[in-house]
Structure 1
Amino acid sequence: MRIALVVLLALLSTGAAAAPDGQATAGATVETPPVQHSGDAADDPAIWYDRTDSSRSMVIGTDKMGALETYDLQGRLLQRITGIMPNNVDVRDDVVVAADDDTDEGVLRIFLVDPATRKLRPAAVIPTAVTAHGVCMYRSPVSDKLYAFPTAVSGRVEEFELTVRGSRVDARSVRLFNLGRTVEGCVADDASGALYVAEEKVGIWRYDAEPSPRHSRVLVDGARPERDGHLQADVEGLAIAGDRLYASSQGSSDFTVYGRMVNAYLGRFRVVNSGDVDGCQDTDGIDATSRPLGAGFPAGMFVCQDGYNVRGSTVLKQNFKFVPLERVVAPIGTSPTPFG
């Protein structure tokens, strides 16, 4: 769902006041350069954490029209990998997986991060059975095995077991199931073993992330107008940080927040203009971490794709915004609100 530009620009002209009365707001402190392609190009970010020096951590972002990009914590471009069409991206440790649906079957493009140089090196190209569109990763607390979940506009989700062998990564499909309608955003919780999948018109579903023939699920929250809930279709990116689960409610151009363990709704917020950095609107992908990332992000970071990147009244190509996590956490209360 794309918001009418003329309406959006009218809202943006009021800055933080654009948020509805009583709604929490948070301002970004850093933004990346616009991606090179025009239109709906930027899509999904992922945060790579440098275990030796957290201030050297970086954000990986997709330009789904033709590149995978990496940025430092000041938003500066570090690397641009061209010749691919990555729609979504995720990372665990030094393994990066991007979903590329620019082929008939779709593929997972797997890279390894060299921590010394922060460069991404190709490690594998894996065909998928689901025409990979979205992707998320999972480190099992049971087996310590690494998994990737490509998702598809057909509603299907596949699970791959990944094995790192030196400079290469092997992949084995271990699971396939179908939600029935368009899915893209997903996130897996390495602590609880939960897999959250965003069915765009319906809501957020919780599954077991462990490979299993059982595909039982629970609806975390519904998306209006089809379901009663706090989300407004389309439901897009999902992220986990600290004790919270975050979702991009694209139709309302804001973000919903849930408790990480019981998934009760806690509130919502909007990322608004802050100084020279504009907010995030019509957001596709998000990511978040509660790990300290140096002086600029001492409590962690929330990253959002900006569907309408503007400077004044000028519309620029899309980009990504970095928000100190405490700005996101503080305004949202901790008393759970029941779903419905």
Structure 2
Amino acid sequence: MRIAAGLMTVVAVAVVSSSVPAEPRGAAAQNTVATAGATVETEPVAHSGDAADDPAIWFDPADAARSMVIGADKKGALETYDLTGKRLQRIPDVYPNNVDVRDNVVVAADDDTDEGVLRIYLVDPKTRRLRSAATVPTTVTAHGLCMYRSPKTDKLYAFPNAVSGRVEQWELTVRGSRVTAKSVRLFNLGRAVEGCVADDASGALYIGEEKVGLWRYGAEPDAGRTRTLVDGAKPEREGHIQADVEGLAIAGDRLYASSQGSSDYTVYGRMDNKYLGRFRVANSGGVDGCQDTDGIEATSRPLGTAFPTGLFICQDGYNVQGSTVARQNFKFVPLDRVVLPIGTQPVPYP
């Protein structure tokens, strides 16, 4: 991956404030890998090989069943799908690794240029079409990305990050059809990062340092460099994740992480970050499961009759169709099938 030269000096790696939590006692069920089957898969992305990466969910407040999924094809397109997996739009000649959305603002991290850019789009709720609103060169070589809406100020932010470990925070301002951005924060984890997710309720920013583990920072621009290790990544650190740490998502009272090396997903409490268990997305009917997953997304919002309790989405690194491996795609799992700890359901969260 290309790393931009001549960039500003970056602060040192943050001080760790705690270590990985111990395995819960008396919780044998939590150590079992549960299974959940997907009910929908999207049309494959346009490009072959390792192309699909990160999904995001745009929520339609007027008709939740019209909500759509936005998927990154890092080899040359941004695509959108309805909740049946049908492609709605393909934006070609862009190279997004990660994508996220808040309200009608969609931001994708594109590292195809020497320094990388944020590609910012606005959703037209009537047509469900994305329209380009801005292209913002970044100080880091934008690779991973997540967004954050501050509960304190209502300001909107995007966090592009780089395989060098650098993370930048951008404040986004939307005025009609225009979006402007300014950089407000820059820090360094030290090694490759990509997956991140911000909690608009608690103000937490979770970042996956791929070979090391899952970290919790503050998401406000003045939060500083203090961080907490939520969970370690094997084999380098003791923990529940098998490197690489990839996609991260929040839904209801749960935090999810893609444990790419074990082709499953670890689950934590949203507020206390306690490890709750793990699950994998297995073959179900005519839909195959997810393996070697990069990006994930989840929501506890009801999305019509197909997903009445919410939705979990995983990128499938090996899209098996019969006896062949097709181009990569995304799998949709009803959130009520993700039952961890065993016998419980995610609790809706305001």
1:153-168 aligned within 5 A: 153-168=163-178
In structure 2, the partner of 1:252 is 262
| Aligned partner (choices 34, 43, 52) of residue 44 of structure 2 | 34
The separation in 1 between residues aligned to 2:98 and 2:164, in whole angstroms, is 16
Query: For the Cα contact (< 8 Å) 1:231–1:249, is it kept in 2?
Result: yes
The separation in 1 between residues aligned to 2:342 and 2:117, in whole angstroms, is 38
Query: Is 1:117–2:122 an aligned residue pair?
Result: no
In structure 1, the partner of 2:285 is 275
Q: Compared with structure 1, are the counterparts of its residues 194 and 334 closer, same or farther at alpha carbon in structure 2 (3 Å cutoff)?
A: farther
Q: Deviations over 1:284-318 (max 9, x none)?
A: 00000000000000000000000000012211010
1:213 is displaced (CA, Å) by 6.0
* TM-score, with structure 2 as normaliser: 0.88
Query: Is 1:329–2:321 an aligned residue pair?
Result: no
SS of 1:25's partner is strand
Query: For the Cα contact (< 8 Å) 2:267–2:340, is it kept in 1?
Result: no
The separation in 2 between residues aligned to 1:160 and 1:333, in whole angstroms, is 40
Provide structure 1 residue ranges, at least 5 long, that are not aligned to the other structure.
Answer: 1-20, 336-340
In structure 2, the partner of 1:303 is 313
Question: Percent identity between the aligned chains?
Answer: 79
The separation in 1 between residues aligned to 2:72 and 2:177, in whole angstroms, is 23
1:23 is displaced (CA, Å) by 1.9
Query: Is 1:107–2:104 an aligned residue pair?
Result: no
Query: For the Cα contact (< 8 Å) 1:175–1:213, is it kept in 2?
Result: no
The separation in 2 between residues aligned to 1:162 and 1:169, in whole angstroms, is 7
Query: Is 1:54–2:64 an aligned residue pair?
Result: yes
SS of 1:294's partner is coil
SS of 2:337's partner is helix
1:330 is displaced (CA, Å) by 5.5
Query: Is 1:287–2:292 an aligned residue pair?
Result: no
Q: Compared with structure 1, are the counterparts of its residues 199 and 257 closer, same or farther at alpha carbon in structure 2 (3 Å cutoff)?
A: same
Q: Structure 1 residues 44-53 or 325-334, which shifts more? A: 325-334
The separation in 1 between residues aligned to 2:202 and 2:246, in whole angstroms, is 22
In structure 2, the partner of 1:214 is 224
Q: Compared with structure 1, are the counterparts of its residues 113 and 267 closer, same or farther at alpha carbon in structure 2 (3 Å cutoff)?
A: same
Q: Deviations over 1:83-123 (max 9, x none)?
A: 11011000000000000000000000000000000000000
The separation in 2 between residues aligned to 1:306 and 1:59, in whole angstroms, is 15
Instruction: Provide the alpha-carbon RMSD of the alignment.
Output: 1.3
Letter in 1 for 2:204: A
Q: Deviations over 1:164-211 (max 9, x none)?
A: 011110001000000000000000000000000000000000000000
In structure 2, the partner of 1:96 is 106
Letter in 2 for 1:198: G
SS of 1:326's partner is helix
The separation in 2 between residues aligned to 1:294 and 1:142, in whole angstroms, is 31
In structure 2, the partner of 1:7 is none
In structure 1, the partner of 2:81 is 71
SS of 2:338's partner is helix
1:214 is displaced (CA, Å) by 1.3
In structure 1, the partner of 2:147 is 137
Structure 1 segments of 4+ aligned residues over 4 angstroms from their partners:
none
Letter in 2 for 1:143: T
In structure 1, the partner of 2:93 is 83
The separation in 2 between residues aligned to 1:302 and 1:206, in whole angstroms, is 22
* TM-score, with structure 1 as normaliser: 0.91
The separation in 2 between residues aligned to 1:41 and 1:221, in whole angstroms, is 28
Q: Compared with structure 1, are the counterparts of its residues 333 and 153 closer, same or farther at alpha carbon in structure 2 (3 Å cutoff)?
A: farther
Q: Compared with structure 1, are the counterparts of its residues 213 and 32 closer, same or farther at alpha carbon in structure 2 (3 Å cutoff)?
A: closer
In structure 2, the partner of 1:190 is 200
Letter in 2 for 1:237: G
Query: Is 1:24–2:34 an aligned residue pair?
Result: yes
Letter in 2 for 1:40: D
The separation in 2 between residues aligned to 1:299 and 1:118, in whole angstroms, is 22
Query: Is 1:235–2:245 an aligned residue pair?
Result: yes
Query: For the Cα contact (< 8 Å) 1:25–1:331, is it kept in 2?
Result: no
Provide structure 2 residue ranges, at least 5 long, that are not aligned to the other structure.
Answer: 1-30, 346-350
Aligned residues: 315
